[in-house]
Homo-oligomer: A and B are copies of this chain.
Amino acid sequence: MKIYTKTGDAGETGLFGGGRVPKDDERVDAYGEVDELNATLGLARSLSMPADLDGLLQQLQDQLFTVGAVLATPQGTKAAAHIPHIKPEWVEAMEKAIDGFETELPTMTHFILPGGSQASSALHLSRTVCRRAERRVVPLLREGKVSHDVGVFLNRLSDLLFVMARVANHRVGVPDVKWIPEKPGK
């Protein structure tokens, strides 16, 4: 089978299990954004990422393919019985990771300018793309077309990526720069 099947040339494509939809369908848009998020994690990992963060990111990339499969498979179809599902343990593990990383870090009281080391900067980019993916999942959640787990997973992931971005700077001694809002009327 060639990788280019040409079947999508006219703007339609297939979900898992077979239904055909336009490529701007909400489902396709949602897993397309998750794919982009996954690509930004790959990019982050290529930019001198500390080994423990790198290992965790690889796990998260793997889990995102399950998220993608869930998004690509309409509920109640035969295909739905053949895909893996998001495990509650994954979310718990993210929460533990956040708690653990935060012990390394000074308490946050202000927004910080995203940036610093290349690894940290790329994680901030992933964080924002994760949040974009979450926004695209919201219509599916609202219409009951996708499991609540997807929303939880992405919501927690963006917070984990924030903390990992801070750790990536802190470990190399790069201070985060705070945003100090000016008093209005000044």
Contacts and interface: CB of A to CB of B under 8 A. Distances in A.
Contacts of A184: 81-85
Given A36-B125, A82-B184, A115 B45 contact: yes
Interface of A is mostly: helix
Contacts of A32: 128, 131-132, 135
Contacts of A66: 181-182
Given A10-B151, A128-B36, A179-B65, A23 B111 contact: no
B22 A62 contact: no
Interface size class of A (residues with CB under 8 A): 35 or more
Interface string A4-43: 1010111100000000001110001100110110111111
Given A2-B98, A11-B137, A84-B186, 4 more contacts: A32-B131, A39-B124, A83-B184, A84-B181
